[in-house]
Chains A and B, each alone.
Chain A
């Protein structure tokens, strides 16, 4: 069983489109995250949810809107996609909101905007 699963794995779309990436974890963790890895391979946190509550919202354009219907799911919706949004997006989860212990990451969604 995959602990943190993301769909889709690859996403190619045109500028201006709206797309969603889904994430699910079956670990019973309380906290979920979205990280972005750009072309220079830097990993940066975007959002964090603890028990469906938004905890961290980094300086991310408001075109990005996370949604957590329950603590096992965290989806990322992106409006009006731009070329600069092309990156690999990783979902992660952690047992508690303090972030202690290890994170479990998904395998990533490679988004390409053309």
Chain B
């Protein structure tokens, strides 16, 4: 699976949009981009995933560049409860059988 690069930490003001970038320049055509987050002392939580098109759900939006070499997770109105480590993972499935490879992620701190 392709590696991803994320900034180690980011800050965001409560109520503002949090835009978390991820580089995955070696992504293959069949690899999806997944985002998870881990709030302190809890298990990772699935947020969203996408292949080529932008995706939106009740938690976030995922914007994937046309060349698919990078993506941005957008939390439209960040709250204090969104403070967490956010992981960007690329994954193709198939013979990987669910072997998600977590990197160091981005520590997002939402402040009042």
Contacts and interface: CB of A to CB of B under 8 A. Distances in A.
Contacts of A50: 97
B112 interface: no
Interface residues of A, number: 27
B98 A44 contact: no
Contact of B94 (A55, A94, A98, A107): A98
Given A102-B46, A107-B42, A108-B42, A44 B93 contact: no
Given A99-B91, A100-B32, A102-B49, A43 B44 contact: yes
Q: Is the interface of A mostly helix, strand, loop or mixed?
A: strand
A103 B100 contact: yes
Interface residues of B, number: 24
A45 B89 CA distance: 14
B96 A99 contact: yes
A104 B36 CA distance: 10
A48 B43 contact: no
Interface of B: 32, 34, 36, 38, 41-46, 49, 85, 87, 91, 93-94, 96-102, 104
Given A99-B98, A102-B34, 15 more contacts: A42-B102, A44-B102, A45-B98, A45-B100, A56-B97, A56-B99, A92-B44, A97-B98, A98-B94, A99-B93, A101-B49, A102-B49, A103-B36, A103-B44, A106-B43
Interface of A: 4, 31, 33, 41-45, 48, 50, 55-56, 90, 92, 94, 97-108
